[in-house]
Amino acid sequence: MRALVVYESMYGNTQVTAGNIADGLRGDYEVTLVPLAEATAELVAGADLLVAGAPTHMHGLPSTSSRRMAAQAAAKEGSGLRMTPGARGPGMRDWLKDLGRRTAWPRPSTPGSTASPRSPAVPAAPSPSC
* Sign of the C-alpha dihedral computed for residues 70, 75, 77 and 83 taken in this order: positive
Amino acid letter, residue 3: A
Q: How far is the CB of 112 from ligand FMN (least distance, A)?
A: 44
Q: How far is the CB of 70 from ligand FMN (least distance, A)?
A: 4
* Sign of the C-alpha dihedral computed for residues 62, 63, 64 and 65 taken in this order: negative
Q: How far is the CB of 27 from ligand FMN (least distance, A)?
A: 25
Nearer to ligand FMN, 20 or 119 (CB): 20
Nearer to ligand FMN, 29 or 55 (CB): 55
| Interaction site with ligand FMN (CB under 6 A) | 9-15, 55-59, 66, 69-70, 73
Nearer to ligand FMN, 59 or 107 (CB): 59
Contact 62, 36 (CB under 8 A): no
Q: How far is the CB of 82 from ligand FMN (least distance, A)?
A: 9
Nearer to ligand FMN, 53 or 100 (CB): 53
Q: What CA–CA distance (Å, rounded) separates 92 from 65?
A: 14
Q: What CA–CA distance (Å, rounded) separates 124 from 118?
A: 18
